[in-house]
Structure 1
Amino acid sequence: MNIKPTLIKQLVNYGPKDYRLVSAPLPEPKANELLVKVGACGICASDFHCYHGAPMFWGNETFPPYVKTPVVSGHEFYGTVHAAGPNALEHFGVALGDRVIAEQIVPCDKCRFCRNGQYWMCEKHDIYGFQKDDADGGMTEYMLFKPTSRVHKIPQSLSLEECALIEPFSCSVHAVNRGDIQFNDVVVLAGAGTLGLGMIQAIKLKTPKKLIVIDTMPHRLALASKLGADEVMNPLEEDVIAKVKAMTDGYGCDVYIEATGNPAAVNQGLQMIRKLGRFVEFSVFSRETSVDWSIIGDRKELDIRGAHLSPGCYETVIDLFSRKLMTAENIVTHQFPLDRWEQAFATFGTAEAIKVLLVPHAQ
């Protein structure tokens, strides 16, 4: 449909530490595209690392840049269907005014992974907020959901905070699923940030024998305990490897999930996990991590599992929020309008912040 051009605000990434709040015409949806009024967009660790120039986004001597600029940032968004291009409402099974969320990835639907149903590993791999033209993100007032987007409806019963946490908590659920947690498992989760706090809630629903959470920030450990951790530990204050082994008759934990992005937590996990254990690596790292690979193979024969994005998990998280089996309470700590994006990014890096949101429209 034709929409009279109107200027909107967009936070555009032009390069490391070169983000600009600009005015741009209101996008016009094409066939099978939705125009969505953004309700909120969270700042992720990957957004933070990208802003500060991490090589995994901007490339180095061994691999090319991933980010294609200029691009509107943000992949942790949700919103309301404002307008639709030809056939879009039927294509996605939604109506004007519906609250909706699109998964982070805009799959090509053509590569071997997409054809095999593994769309989250799409070879082209456009993620909202990182590739210009094909995947402008949600740090804006209005955005387009693309024809190959995986779109889900959100019930009106969910709060703004819950809606804003659907994306990160979907990643949390996928990581926990990768751990294949059993009833008798002792599970160690390293990292109690937003994703870790979602993982705690998902792990508790798996009912393992014991859940141990490790973090260096006391207030995050306190929240981890409130959300269901059986034990919390601070590696700056105690020998967490020795303590976990003492709690497991010297063997070590059955499952270790790394969600800190700190290289020290990887080596910590390799020392802490038992032989034949399951190690789930979730984090986005700002620098390379070195480990003794003989631990993985010769000494322990570990099952190392990566966790990327959140396939099949959005509807699960929406359902868990709806049934009050997950909570957003105390996890969203800060909300800023788009005009204060610099303060929002600065706040993300502070000790008191957990999830920081940009909220484009006054609530």
Structure 2
Amino acid sequence: MKAIVKYQTGDGFIGLRDVPEPEPGEGEVKIAVQAAGICGSDLHIWHGDIEIPVKPPVTLGHEFAGVVTALGPGVTGLQVGQRVTAENSHSVCGGCEYCMTGDYNLCEERLATGYAYDGAFAPYCVVPAKRVHVLPDTVDFLTGALSDPSACVYRAVCEKGAVGPGDTVLILGVGPMGLFSTQYAKLSGGKVILAGTAADAARLEIGRELGADCTVNVTQPDAVDNVKRFAGRSGIDVVLECSGAPDAARLGLQLIKKRGRFVLVGIYGRPFELDFDQILYKELVVKGMFSHKYKAWEKAISLAAQGLIKAKPLITDILPLSEWEKGFRRFAERKAIKVIFEPQRA
């Protein structure tokens, strides 16, 4: 079968290659992939520009949905023909303090599907049964494929940021994470300010359609004043930094109120200077959000099933695997918000 493979470390070294069709082992499930999305981390793997535990040669892709086609020995609770998605925490140690408390996303030995184990940019993939989530009938494959980023954002907004009714929330960045954050923050009762750049006009409009109360172009001279004016005297309670841009992090620290909650969602990939005195003077609570866990997946899927969180407005491109390079380039150049591959297409 054809698959998008990272066949060597470094910048580039990705291509469509022939690989064996996988079969499930003990405790594993084979899935016919119907939809698989490009994640920002896939771009970093493409360019080899940040440290990600990738083990070439490996089939990429970890945001996906499909149909169970085979069960390995010992698998119970799943059936052939079920529509499913799966977490990308392929293997963890199971015995460290993080695994023992359910925070297996933080396990030092965690290895991921699409990074160290063959992933979903292929017609078939194999994953551990314990990471599989069944999709309700009201969740189609396109929506199901984006359960991964949706679950991440659920953790950022609802757990780390603890957004609640009356909170004013500043979301920095209008990629998939920022647009999902907009929806979760509104659903949690927040008043949402979504911020992007001059190049983000179309994305900001989508953000408005998804519930943002105010959108701001941060490159405008009056951007800070506009945010302050909208926030009013109560100020910004929660900042969700989804862009991975150092200037955005600095802006968030500038605008957040005293005792505010600052959540890091985007990956920067490099060191940069930040005024930590602002954290001290404002007595801020600063939290990171890395990956996802079982509960977040169940919440994300349930909310999608109820139509309360929408993934399809984020999908701009649907392509066969043969057009992988077009998809990667459009995503990298920010011409696409979310690119989905359909591996069953010729």
TM interval, short-chain normalised? over 0.9
Structure 1 counterpart of 2:71, from 65, 84, 87: 84
Structure 1 counterpart of 2:228, from 245, 254, 260: 245
1:346-357 matches, cutoff 5 A:
346-357=329-340
1:248-267 matches, cutoff 5 A:
248-249=231-232, 252-267=235-250
Q: Which residue of 1 aligns with 2:54?
A: 67
Q: Is the CA contact (8 Å cut-off) linking 1:80 and 1:98 kept in structure 2?
A: yes
Instruction: Give the superposed CA RMSD.
Output: 1.6
Q: Which residue of 2 aligns with 1:158?
A: 139
Question: In the TM superposition, what is the alpha-carbon distance from 1:244 to its structure 2 partner?
Answer: 2.2
Q: Which residue of 2 aligns with 1:100?
A: 84
Q: Which residue of 2 aligns with 1:11?
A: 4
Deviations 1:31-75 (A, max 9, x none): 111111111111011111221221333xxxxxxxx3222211111
Q: Which residue of 2 aligns with 1:118?
A: 103
Q: Which residue of 1 aligns with 2:288?
A: 306
Check if 1:45 corresponds to 2:27: no
Q: Which residue of 2 aligns with 1:33?
A: 28
Q: Is the CA contact (8 Å cut-off) linking 1:76 and 1:138 kept in structure 2?
A: yes
1:180-199 matches, cutoff 5 A:
180-199=162-181
Q: Which residue of 2 aligns with 1:4?
A: none
Question: In the TM superposition, what is the alpha-carbon distance from 1:238 to its structure 2 partner?
Answer: 3.8
Deviations 1:121-169 (A, max 9, x none): 12212121111xxx2211111111125x421101233223211221111
Q: Is the CA contact (8 Å cut-off) linking 2:93 and 2:99 kept in structure 1?
A: yes
Question: In the TM superposition, what is the alpha-carbon distance from 1:224 to its structure 2 partner?
Answer: 0.5
Structure 2 counterpart of 1:329, from 304, 312, 332: 312
Question: In the TM superposition, what is the alpha-carbon distance from 1:243 to its structure 2 partner?
Answer: 2.5
Check if 1:226 corresponds to 2:224: no
Question: In the TM superposition, what is the alpha-carbon distance from 1:185 to its structure 2 partner?
Answer: 1.4
Q: Is the CA contact (8 Å cut-off) linking 1:39 and 1:80 kept in structure 2?
A: yes
Q: Is the CA contact (8 Å cut-off) linking 1:43 and 1:357 kept in structure 2?
A: yes
Cα distance between partner residues in 2 of 1:160 and 1:237 = 39
Q: SS state of the match for residue 101, structure 1? A: strand
Question: In the TM superposition, what is the alpha-carbon distance from 1:318 to its structure 2 partner?
Answer: 1.4
Cα distance between partner residues in 2 of 1:100 and 1:35 = 11
Cα distance between partner residues in 2 of 1:188 and 1:82 = 43
> What TM-score comes out, normalization by structure 1 length?
0.89
> Any unmatched runs of 5+ in structure 2?
none
Cα distance between partner residues in 2 of 1:245 and 1:251 = 9
Cα distance between partner residues in 1 of 2:35 and 2:93 = 26
> What TM-score comes out, normalization by structure 2 length?
0.93
Q: SS state of the match for residue 136, structure 1? A: coil
Percent identical among aligned pairs is: 36
Q: SS state of the match for residue 335, structure 2? A: coil
